[in-house]
């Protein structure tokens, strides 16, 4: 009657994880799995900043005097000045609160693609996120998310593996492929007294196991997740190389993402959703001072933690839209268009700002108010899908769009 683990009902992390389940999975097995992970299975991590972060103040075009004219009191000073930008090249500098990213930049492991967006302009948070997550801007009826389609076409396996750090299933993963969704994996377990744990779990597995509807499916997925991750030592592994993650949600998510990657469970895509004070209609400078170090610190800790394993990982950080080029009437910025995308990891041709910079002169702005879009976001997505994950069928991945060759992001 007591069936703590039934292999026939496994849903999560099939493939490599069979040995990783249950009581027999000890630290030594974990070490050998780490070696397997190092053998080269590629992992893609997408970090999604919700709220429309103002990338014009993250990647500061200090070389353009127009920037200082239109940004006024919220402009980031030029490199070398007090609280000035950190020089990236002759045109761009990084917001000083992102200083943690500078070593990655200098080592050539972090690249930036600027003026990214799409032509189906929406300045709605919800729609813009939807379009970025389905990969079909302008079409709200796409049933699947772009990462669901990525999972479906992974070569060599009919089932691929995915983890999303968010309280709800992200649009990016909507579709038939199984996904583990959790905002924090450490509390992901049944909480019940030891004297009736076995009984409670068996009863609940029975109840959910016999149902064919969506509720039954989610119940079975829940127990599979407990089997494969929570009851394994995966989440007990400490960060490597002295990495210290900021104790905020993005830090916790990326720490657990690194633990899963190090465990070599066969996970191929990880999605991290980040909320915070990014919708800076007012008081932008102070909000960025709080939020940006969390982003920079977490990305930097992730790279340090993974060490050489980072060669098999590409991490892309995006938000739904850029913000108005002009400062608004309340020391903030309103919803805009073109934005910068950050990409780091193995194979990234880093240390450069890629894409075509459209300029900030009034005639160069989109609708005379926003940074224009010169690179469709699907060109960035597809370059990663092709060169990092080895996918070829871009017509299926991005229905109705033929991605160009990309911007030279990856070797």
Partner 1 sequence: MGLSASELARKTALHALNRLGFGPRPGDVEAVLDRGVEDYIRKQLDPAPDAALESRLAPMQNTLRLSTTQVLVTYADSGNLASSVQAYLDNFQNAKIIRSVHTVNQLDEVLADFWFNHFNVNINDGFVRYAIQSFERDAIRPHAMGKFADLLKATAEHPAMLYYLDNYLSTAARTVNGRLVQGLNENYGRELLELHTVGVDAGYTQADVYDAARAFTGWGIDNTGRGGNFRYLSTSHDTGAKSAFGLQLSAGGQKDDGERLIKYLATHPNTARFISTKLARRFVADNPPQSLVDRMSEVWLATDGDIKAVVKAMIGSSEFWSEAFSSAGKPKTPFEYVVSSIRAVGAEVSSATRGVGAYLSQMGQPMYQCIPPTGYSDSGAEWLNPSSQIYRMNFALDLAQGLVTGVTVNVRNFALGADLNSPSSVAKAANSEVFGSTFAPSTLAAASRVDTRITNPSAAVRVSALLLAAPESQVR
Query: How far, rounded to the nearest angstrom, does the alpha carbon of residue 254 sit from its chain's CA centroid?
Result: 9
**Closest distance of CB 146 from partner 1, Å:** 18
By beta-carbon proximity to partner 1, the closer residue of 113 and 164 is 164
Q: Any residues with CB less than 8 A from the CB of 378 and at least 6 apart, and which? A: 118, 135, 398, 401, 403
**Closest distance of CB 136 from partner 1, Å:** 15
Do the bridges between strand 162-165 and strand 269-274 make them parallel or antiparallel, or are there none, so unpaired?
Answer: parallel
By beta-carbon proximity to partner 1, the closer residue of 202 and 285 is 202
**Closest distance of CB 98 from partner 1, Å:** 22
* Backbone φ, ψ for residue 223 (5° rounding): -70, -30
Give the pair of three-digit tokens for residue 43: 């992992």
**Cα distances (Å, whole numbers) of residue 381 to 351, 359, 403:** 19, 23, 9
**Closest distance of CB 215 from partner 1, Å:** 5
**Closest distance of CB 122 from partner 1, Å:** 8
Of 343, 180, 182, whose CA–CA distance to 265 is shortest?
A: 180
**Closest distance of CB 23 from partner 1, Å:** 20
Site for partner 1 in 327-366 (CB under 8 A): 327-330, 332, 334-335
By beta-carbon proximity to partner 1, the closer residue of 59 and 181 is 181
Q: What is the DSSP letter of 228?
A: I
In the block, tokens 């993650």 appear at 245
> Among 208, 271, 342, 357, which residue interacts with partner 1 (rule: CB under 8 A)?
208
**Cα distances (Å, whole numbers) of residue 384 to 168, 196, 353:** 25, 48, 16
Rule CB under 8 A: say whether 218 interacts with partner 1: yes
Q: Is 132 in contact with 320 (CB distance < 8 Å)?
A: yes
> Among 282, 290, 356, 396, which residue interacts with partner 1 (rule: CB under 8 A)?
282
By beta-carbon proximity to partner 1, the closer residue of 19 and 192 is 192
> Among 188, 285, 311, 394, which residue interacts with partner 1 (rule: CB under 8 A)?
188
Rule CB under 8 A: say whether 55 interacts with partner 1: no
* Backbone φ, ψ for residue 78 (5° rounding): -65, 155
DSSP-assigned letters across all residues of 257-312: HHHHHHHT----EEEEEE-SS---SS-HHHHHHHHHHHHHHHHHHHHHHHGGGGGG
**Closest distance of CB 35 from partner 1, Å:** 29
> Among 28, 158, 195, 363, which residue interacts with partner 1 (rule: CB under 8 A)?
195
By beta-carbon proximity to partner 1, the closer residue of 93 and 178 is 178
CA dist 280 and 125 (Å) reads 13
Q: Is 68 in contact with 75 (CB distance < 8 Å)?
A: yes
By beta-carbon proximity to partner 1, the closer residue of 218 and 395 is 218
> Among 119, 141, 158, 187, which residue interacts with partner 1 (rule: CB under 8 A)?
187
> Among 100, 114, 221, 291, which residue interacts with partner 1 (rule: CB under 8 A)?
221
Q: Is 272 in contact with 319 (CB distance < 8 Å)?
A: no
By beta-carbon proximity to partner 1, the closer residue of 69 and 89 is 69
Question: 3-class SS at 59?
Answer: strand
Question: 3-class SS at 243?
Answer: coil
Site for partner 1 in 106-145 (CB under 8 A): 122-127, 140
Rule CB under 8 A: say whether 210 interacts with partner 1: yes
- Count of positions on this chain that bind partner 1 (CB under 8 A): 61
Interface ranges with partner 1 (CB under 8 A):
1, 50-51, 72, 122-127, 140, 167-169, 179-183, 187-193, 195-196, 199-200, 202-204, 206-208, 210-211, 213-216, 218-219, 221-222, 225-226, 275, 279, 281-282, 326-330, 332, 334-335, 367
């Amino acid at each position: 009657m007591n069936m703590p683990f039934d292999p026939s009902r496994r849903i999560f992390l099939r493939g490599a994880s069979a040995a990783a389940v249950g009581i027999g999975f000890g630290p030594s097995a974990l070490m050998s799995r780490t070696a397997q992970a190092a053998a080269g299975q590629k992992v893609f991590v997408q970090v999604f900043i919700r709220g429309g972060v103002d990338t014009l103040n993250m990647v500061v075009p200090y070389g353009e005097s127009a920037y200082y004219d239109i940004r006024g009191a919220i402009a980031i000073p030029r490199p070398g000045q007090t609280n000035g930008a950190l020089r990236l090249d002759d045109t761009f500098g990084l917001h000083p609160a992102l200083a943690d990213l500078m070593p990655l930049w200098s080592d050539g492991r972090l690249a930036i693609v600027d003026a990214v967006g799409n032509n189906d302009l929406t300045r709605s948070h919800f729609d813009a996120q939807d379009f970025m997550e389905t990969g079909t801007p302008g079409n709200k009826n796409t049933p699947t998310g772009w990462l669901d389609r990525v999972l479906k076409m992974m070569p060599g396996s009919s089932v691929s593996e995915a983890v999303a750090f968010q309280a709800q299933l992200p649009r990016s993963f909507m579709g038939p492929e199984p996904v583990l969704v959790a905002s924090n994996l450490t509390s992901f377990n049944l909480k019940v007294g030891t004297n009736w744990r076995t009984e409670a779990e068996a009863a609940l597995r029975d109840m959910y196991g016999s149902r064919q509807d969506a509720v039954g499916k989610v119940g079975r997925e829940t127990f599979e997740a407990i089997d494969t991750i929570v009851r394994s030592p995966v989440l007990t592994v400490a960060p490597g190389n002295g990495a210290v993650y900021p104790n905020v949600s993005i830090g916790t998510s990326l720490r657990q993402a690194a633990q899963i990657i190090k465990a070599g469970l066969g996970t191929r895509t990880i999605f991290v959703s980040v909320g915070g004070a990014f919708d800076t209609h007012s008081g932008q400078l102070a909000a960025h001072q709080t939020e940006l170090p969390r982003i920079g610190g977490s990305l930097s800790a992730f790279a340090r933690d993974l060490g050489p394993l980072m060669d098999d990982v590409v991490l892309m950080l995006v938000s739904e839209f850029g913000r108005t080029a002009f400062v608004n009437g309340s020391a903030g910025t309103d919803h805009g268009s073109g934005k910068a995308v950050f990409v780091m990891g193995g194979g990234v041709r880093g240390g450069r700002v890629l894409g075509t910079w459209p300029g900030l002169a009034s005639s160069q702005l989109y609708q005379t108010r926003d940074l224009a879009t010169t690179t469709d976001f699907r060109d960035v997505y597809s370059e990663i899908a092709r060169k990092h994950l080895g996918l070829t069928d871009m017509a299926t991945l991005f229905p109705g769009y033929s991605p160009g060759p990309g911007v030279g992001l990856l070797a």
